[in-house]
Amino acid sequence: MPPTPQILIVAPNVSARHGGEAFIPLKYFELMRARGLPVRLVTHARNRPELAGRLGPDLDRVDFLPETRWHGLVARRLARRGRLAEILAGALLRRLDARAQDRAIRARVAAGEAEVIHQPIPVSPLIPSALHGYGVPVVIGPMNGGMTYPPGYGDLESARDRRLVALIRAGARVMNRLVPGKRRAAVLLVANARTRAALPCPDHPRIETLVENGVDFDTWAAPPDTVLADTAPGALRAPGDPGAALRLVFMGRLVGWKAVDITLQALARARAGGVAATLEILGDGSARAALEAEAARAGLGEAVRFAGFLPQADCAARLAAADALILNSVWECGGAVVLEAMAMGLPVIASDWGGPADYLDAECGILVSPVPRAAFADRLAAAIARLAADPALRAAMGAAGAAKVRAEYDWERKVDRMLEICRDAAGPPPHAADHAGPAASLARHSS
């Protein structure tokens, strides 16, 4: 096996607090350091307090990009103002960080401390990458995107927003010609065929498939009475009292495309049909007040509880006490919460659309088509009723899900694969224009 190159992970947004894509670069860095590998991280100074408490002595291997007054202004003006505002904020923040990030990267390359650059986020396939021209190979991804709404859900995006999204996507394709990081990258990693098709350079000579999400089993661990791949058959999660109410959990942001309003309608219809079921909603967002009003109008009363935002450890504890996760989102590129629930030994009810459809199968959950929209709530209600009526089925699905996650989405396995990719990328460069020349290449590989 060739030696592991010195890897420089570049990700201004790194955090474990809220999950999401900011967790991805942190996990790669932590697990590679736990193996004693020569990895470094470039991130933003706003992450220093959290990382100082989490990384210990490995904080010395982190380069922090400076905070400016403009960073705070962008965050204050655009925070929590919708998806398009988030896209604009991200673009502005990346621009603010560009010069300092470039200096940090060049310093590490010049010192011989970066033989491969890894840019794991942003996961969008269309966001341009400025990481090129450093004389070392660049690995970008895994990326996940190319999402559209299912037919019949166009009202979740205003006509104005649709025009803006189309304009942003067209502009991104132009910018990817002007900022050629993705075209010049040694390797592009994509989560699925949908993402590959959305790339600005889908004919890139090296595109590999790797799902961006993984499971941190230190946080999301199945209870001991759940069968895993290496345990004796038959030791299923305790099915529970057949007469008890089905305890559903939703976990995520409360925004329109998560379709929690349809979740509430489905729960109300299931209960009206005699199904004993409750729902705990873990998360917060701009739609919370409207959803609370919807639950009241539907007469759900104490059957629904809005718990608000919770740290990951608290979410894991709530999942451990639940019977199933429900996530009928209609715009979900990935859906890490699906994997986390599966890791906890829970069956999942999810939309047969986007990321969850990549993770789930009939053995570990129920995928429900969001089309046609008029009957979506009825189909979800039927799925709720099915799980409520069959505790043994829930236990079997939960066990299958836990085994699948262990086999396919363990972070350690993802790191193994990423190291293989980086070792291979550190070989002869596929894009001569992006490297310093044969002398530099010879010096790098003879050391």
Over residues 361-389, the pLDDT tens digits come to: 999 999 999 999 999 999 999 999 999 99
User: 165 is written with which tokens?
Assistant: 């999204």
Query: Distance between CA 97 and CA 75 in Å, rounded?
Result: 14
Whether 383 and 397 have beta carbons less than 8 Å apart is answered as no
HEC string of 327-346? ECCCCCCCCHHHHHHHHCCC
Task: State residue 19's pLDDT score.
Answer: 66
Whether 1 and 424 have beta carbons less than 8 Å apart is answered as no
The enclosing H or E element of 389 equals helix 376-389
Query: Distance between CA 216 and CA 389 in Å, rounded?
Result: 31
Place of tokens 């109300």: 268
Spelled out in words, what is the top-level CATH class assigned to the domain 7-214+410-446?
A: alpha beta
Partner residues linked to 154 by β-bridges: none
pTM score of the predicted model: 0.83
Q: Alpha helices, DSSP H only, in 273-375?
A: 288-297, 312-320, 336-343, 355-359
Whether 26 and 50 have beta carbons less than 8 Å apart is answered as no
Of 93, 121, 107, which is closest to residue 26 (Cα–Cα)? 121
In CATH terms, the superfamily for domain 246-408 is Glycogen Phosphorylase B; (3.40.50.2000)
User: 173 is written with which tokens?
Assistant: 């394709």
pLDDT tens digit sequence for 227-259: 433 333 333 344 455 568 999 999 999 999 999
DSSP-derived secondary structure letter, 410: B
Query: Distance between CA 346 and CA 63 in Å, rounded?
Result: 39
Place of tokens 């129920």: 366
* CA–CA distances in Å: residue 108 to residues 63, 117, 123, 138: 10, 10, 24, 14
CATH topology agreement for domains 7-214+410-446 and 246-408:
yes
Query: Distance between CA 418 and CA 210 in Å, rounded?
Result: 9
Query: Distance between CA 157 and CA 78 in Å, rounded?
Result: 18
If you compute the radius of gyration of the chain from its CA atoms, what whole number of angstroms results? 23
List all residues 6 or more positions away from 360 whose beta carbon is below 8 Å from its beta carbon.
338, 348, 350, 366, 367, 401
For the chain, what are the domain ranges?
7-214+410-446, 246-408
Task: Evaluate the omega torsion of the peptide bond into residue 142 and state whether it is cis, within 30 degrees of 0.
Answer: yes
pLDDT tens for the chain, residues 1 to 447: 678 999 999 999 899 876 678 999 999 999 999 999 999 999 999 899 999 999 999 999 999 998 776 666 656 555 555 555 566 666 666 777 788 899 999 999 999 999 999 999 999 999 999 999 999 999 999 999 998 899 999 888 777 777 877 787 788 888 888 889 999 999 999 999 999 999 999 999 999 999 999 998 888 987 665 443 333 333 334 445 556 899 999 999 999 999 999 999 999 999 999 999 999 999 999 999 999 999 999 999 999 999 999 988 899 999 999 999 999 999 999 899 999 999 999 999 999 999 999 999 999 999 999 999 999 999 999 999 999 999 999 999 999 999 999 999 999 999 999 999 999 999 755 444 444 333 333 233 332
